[in-house]
Amino acid sequence: MKKTIFTLALFAIMVSSCTKKEQTTGIDLANLDTTVVAQNDFYQFACGGWMANNPLTPEYSRFGSFDKLGLNNLEQVNGLIQDIAAKANKQGSVAQKIGDMYNMAMDTARRDQEGIEPVQKKLDEIAGISTREELSKVLGGAMDFQLWAMYVDADAKNSSMNILNEYQAGFSLGEKEYYLDTDEQTTAIRNAYVAYVEKMFSLFGFEDAAAKAQTVLRMETRLAKAAFSNVELRDPQANYNKMSVAELQELVPQVNWKVYFEALGVELDSLSVGQIPHLKEAGKMLADEPLEDLKTLFSWQVIEGAASYLTTEIYMTSFDFYGKVMSGREEPSPLWKRAVGIVNGTLGEAVGQMYVAKYFPEENKERMLALVHNLQKALGIRIENLAWMSDETKAKALEKLNAITIKIGYPDTWRDYSALDINPADTYYANLQRAAKFEQNYSLSFLGKPVDKKKWYMTPQTVNAYYNPSSNEICFPAGILQYPFFDMNADDAFNYGAIGVVIGHEMTHGFDDQGCQFDKDGNMSNWWTAEDKAAFDARTKVMEEAFNKIEVAPGVHANGAFTLGENIADHGGLQVAYLAFCLNEEAKPEAERLQTRDGFTPAQRFFLAYANVWAGNIRPEEILNRTKSDPHSLGRWRVNGALPQINAWYEAWNVTPESPMYVAPENRVSIW
């Protein structure tokens, strides 16, 4: 666990010694829309040019800076994979598995010829269920149909050990609101879903497809009614219910849990049930729903899970609903992108090992480490200077901050894929089933064992980052450490405003409304005084209410409670990164600190770099979809909703009370 913090002086020396050549501002002036007054609509000013230059193509429901970098990474990975796929590779080697999986993913002609045959055996097995007594064993052994999900992760209250966790599942639309809301648009989506289910049942040769579609909707609605909402899912305490297997048997007696776990292939004494009302309702369904209706739902789940891996007609039928109706997309992604996605999903770290060898220089990791340590120190300073927090709680917060594990670029050790069998003599679907079983076995192999602190939860080529509360770690894969997030040739104003805020964002997750419930060791335990926690909750309530007022579409408002954690992290990331930037600037000569470049001061460039991270275009359907399903605010509001809460933004851009974005100081959010 890394606890060393670079001094500011050392950091300044390191940067100057590594970057002798003249650095750019990193700001692409073509991204701007200078017809707009920055103080009136900062997002449009900073990103309007980017939006005009990157219009949505039929493939995308949303396309932004993340997606553009992701596309670049995808093209790089595709080149690496194609080189392998064109060769005859040694049987059983990682190269053979990567190449054969890619080639099978590209072979739509074979899938069109095979039709639904690859999945028919699975459907026949479901049809052959004749008694309820079989269901416990059947569900325990199934991967592609369930009324709930099981996964292995750290015990939230004993973070050094892994435990089996149960989680709500069983409704294809994902969000319970799609089944329950009665507004015009949601009702239209629900009606389209029923039509989609009916068509899919017909394509798979089922009689009474219309009746089966209604059965699916009725049963999924029943599960959705009992499920936690997205806001309720954000409460760690409410979603942790550790109990013995005997207590689970008493809670949900309709399942023979001994038989279930034997079929799953695990031995355990206890587990954590996530959402008790949902699991109890699922148990009742197994007892009181007609067996044929349960089999209909299971068949549907198998069909849904196979839809992307069978014929072109079946794939396009699925796309017509999920792509067009739900997201507003006009065309599916090209086949090569889908193929790369499959390889990334099945052999992700093996691909990542190739990716970092070619595209991630070691000096990028070194500069990133220095940035992280500088941000870590800045957050410590902000914590020490909080007027609303007691010294007792500050000491605990600083302990947690200094205990954060930092992961950058790629893992120290790579996953072993030797047990994964990829055989092109079998169908594409059969290979994916084996890959899914391989992943399930990998996850279950950690059950009852100490948590592996070196394990990564993203592949190196991923354009994203994360904070894991149970291990108190922040992770920045190599995939995100590129422009517009990170640029070795750009100056500090750019890198602190872009990747610096991302770093601060992930650190702040350790102190958001969820992360603050975990201590320095990753255990869910209270380290706050009652008074400090009350003050914290009052301040986060200001954030929640500010975002509730944002109208993302006519008559549709953002969900401040659902997006609270990410909004707090954006706020903290901005505050911490700007302080770190200012402290770093103090080590430079005054002329350099105040130098205007490309027409903007360093402080202004900091905020432009931040805004450009969230540049993007999005379809109306996707705005509504993400408002229901995404805990992150939409890109526009990660700028126009976040910056009016940051005092330094007002100073940098001379924002006055006349600005429509102006928020009076006494009404601004102030947390970390």
Task: Report the 3 state secondary structure along 196-236.
Answer: HHHHHHHHCCCCCHHHHHHHHHHHHHHHHHHCCCCCHHHCC
Kindly report the length of the chain.
672
For residues 370 and 374, give the distance between their C-alpha atoms in angstroms, rounded to a whole number.
6
pLDDT tops 60 at residue 124: yes
In this prediction, residue 363 has a pLDDT band, given cuts at 50, 70 and 90, of confident
Between the CA atoms of 154, 157, 160 and 165, what dihedral angle is there, to the nearest 10 degrees? -20
Residue 413 has pLDDT above 70, yes or no: yes
Residues 508-527: tens digit of each pLDDT: 999 999 999 999 999 999 99
CA 505/CA 569 separation, integer angstroms: 5
Question: Shortest CA distance to 656 belongs to which of 40, 42, 36?
Answer: 40
Please report the pLDDT score of residue 251 as a whole number: 98
Beta-bridge mates of residue 154? 162
121's CB contacts (< 8 A; 6+ apart) are: none
**pTM for this one?**
0.93
Best CA proximity match to 150, nearest among 299, 306, 294, 255: 255
Predicted confidence (pLDDT) per residue in 437-485, tens digit: 999 999 999 999 999 999 999 999 999 999 999 999 999 999 999 999 9
**Interior angle at CA 54, CA 312 and CA 620, nearest 5:** 65
- Mean pLDDT along residues 231-255: 97
How many other CB atoms sit within 10 Å of the CB of residue 231?
A: 14
Q: Return the DSSP state at 168.
A: E
Options 3.90.76.10, 1.10.1380.10, 1.10.600.10, 3.30.70.3400; which CATH number does 117-309 get? 1.10.1380.10
* High-pLDDT (> 70) share of the chain, %: 97
Summary mean pLDDT of the chain: 94
Arithmetic mean of pLDDT, 167-187: 96
- SS3 percent helix, strand, coil of the chain, rounded to 5, is 55, 10, 35
Torsion-angle region of residue 472: left (phi > 0), alpha (psi -120 to 50) or beta? Answer: left
- Please tell me the predicted confidence (pLDDT) of residue 1: 28
Q: Which residues of the chain are in CATH 1.10.1380.10 domains?
A: 117-309
Residues 50, 66: Cα–Cα separation, whole Å: 13
Q: What is the pLDDT of residues 584-617, one digit of tens each?
A: 988 787 777 778 999 999 999 999 999 999 999 9
Instruction: Tell me which residue has tokens 């699916």.
Output: 216
Q: Which residues in the chain are classed under CATH 3.40.390.10? A: 8-75+360-412+454-667
> pLDDT tens for residues 66-92?
999 999 999 999 999 999 999 999 999
Could you give the CA distance from residue 483 to residue 501 in angstroms, rounded to a whole number? 14
Which pLDDT band holds residue 362 (cuts at 50, 70, 90)? Answer: confident
pLDDT in tens, 400-410: 999 999 999 99
CA distances from 448 to 243, 445, 452, 520 (A): 15, 9, 12, 22
Tokens of 531: 């008074």
Under a CB-based contact definition with an 8 Å cutoff, are residues 165 and 153 in contact? Answer: yes
Give 8-75+360-412+454-667's CATH code, choosing from 3.40.390.10, 3.40.228.10, 3.40.50.10320, 3.30.930.10. 3.40.390.10
What the block records as the tokens of 653 is 């851009």
Which residue bears the tokens 């500011």? 8
Given this model, what pLDDT does residue 10 score?
A: 24
Tokens of 483: 């422009």
Q: Using 50, 70 and 90 to split pLDDT, how confident is the model at 11?
A: very low
What pLDDT does 21 receive?
Answer: 59
Q: Is the pLDDT of residue 20 over 50?
A: no
**Whether residue 16 has pLDDT greater than 70:** no
User: What's the sign of the alpha-carbon dihedral 195, 627, 307, 68?
Assistant: positive
Task: List the beta strands (DSSP E) in 320-465.
Answer: 405-409
What is the reported pLDDT for 15?
31
**Which tokens in the block code for residue 450?**
């100490």
| Separation between Cα atoms, residue 524 and residue 41, nearest integer Å | 40
The whole-number pLDDT of residue 586 equals 85
Q: How many angstroms separate the first and last alpha carbons of the chain?
A: 24
Check whether 3 has a pLDDT greater than 80: no
The neighbouring-strand residues paired with 518 are 524
Q: Which residues contact 128 (CB under 8 A, 6 or more apart)?
A: none
Q: With a cut of 90, say whether residue 168 has pLDDT above it.
A: yes
- For the CA atoms of 204, 207, 212, 213, the dihedral, rounded to the nearest 10 degrees, stands at 60
Count how many Cα atoms sit within 13 Å of the Cα of residue 174 in the half-sphere of its side chain: 9
| Amino acid making up residue 104 | M
CA 641, 645, 402: angle at the middle one, nearest 5? 110
With a cut of 70, say whether residue 672 has pLDDT above it. Answer: yes
**Predicted confidence band of residue 303 (pLDDT cuts 50, 70, 90):** very high
